[in-house]
Amino acid sequence: MIGLFRQLIRDIEMYIPGDPWKACDICGFKRRSSEMAKSWDGYIVCADTCLDPKHPSLIPHRLPPDRIMVRESRPEKETFIEVDYVV
Ligand SMILES: [Zn+2]
């Protein structure tokens, strides 16, 4: 209880308007909001230690459209080969 009270007093003494304390979603340490960053998956994390960049393999490749457009395309018809002889 005394420890919490001391922490509260320290927080009030170190009050900076517009820069509140936040807890990191990864490590749990308390830091200033200006030292935190939002990760690509939505977590609020420490900007210098816990921020993990998004891996390039998680970003889907976008293929460019075809240069020559086929108008009114249809699927190929199935062709059957008839054999007249008996094996
Ligand atoms: Zn952290």
Tokens at 34, concatenated: 């200006």
Does residue 37 sit within a domain?
yes
Query: What separation in Å is there between the alpha carbon of 38 and the centre of ligand 1?
Result: 11
- Number of structural domains, the chain? 1
Residue showing tokens 């308390």? 30
Per DSSP, 17 falls in state T
Does residue 64 sit within a domain?
no
Mean of the per-residue pLDDT values of the chain: 87
Residue 65 has pLDDT above 80, yes or no: yes
Query: What separation in Å is there between the alpha carbon of 13 and the centre of ligand 1?
Result: 23
Query: What backbone torsions phi and psi does residue 61 show, to the nearest 5 degrees?
Result: -75, 140
Does residue 25 sit within a domain?
yes
Does residue 24 sit within a domain?
yes
**pTM of the full structure:** 0.55
Query: What separation in Å is there between the alpha carbon of 19 and the centre of ligand 1?
Result: 17
pLDDT band at 11 (very low <50, low <70, confident <90, very high): low
User: What residues does 19 pair with on adjacent strands?
Assistant: none
Name the residue range of residue 25's domain. 19-55
Query: What separation in Å is there between the alpha carbon of 5 and the centre of ligand 1?
Result: 24
How confident is the model at residue 41, as a pLDDT?
92
Rounded CA-CA distance 58/6 in Å is 45
Residue 34 has pLDDT above 70, yes or no: yes
Does residue 83 sit within a domain?
no
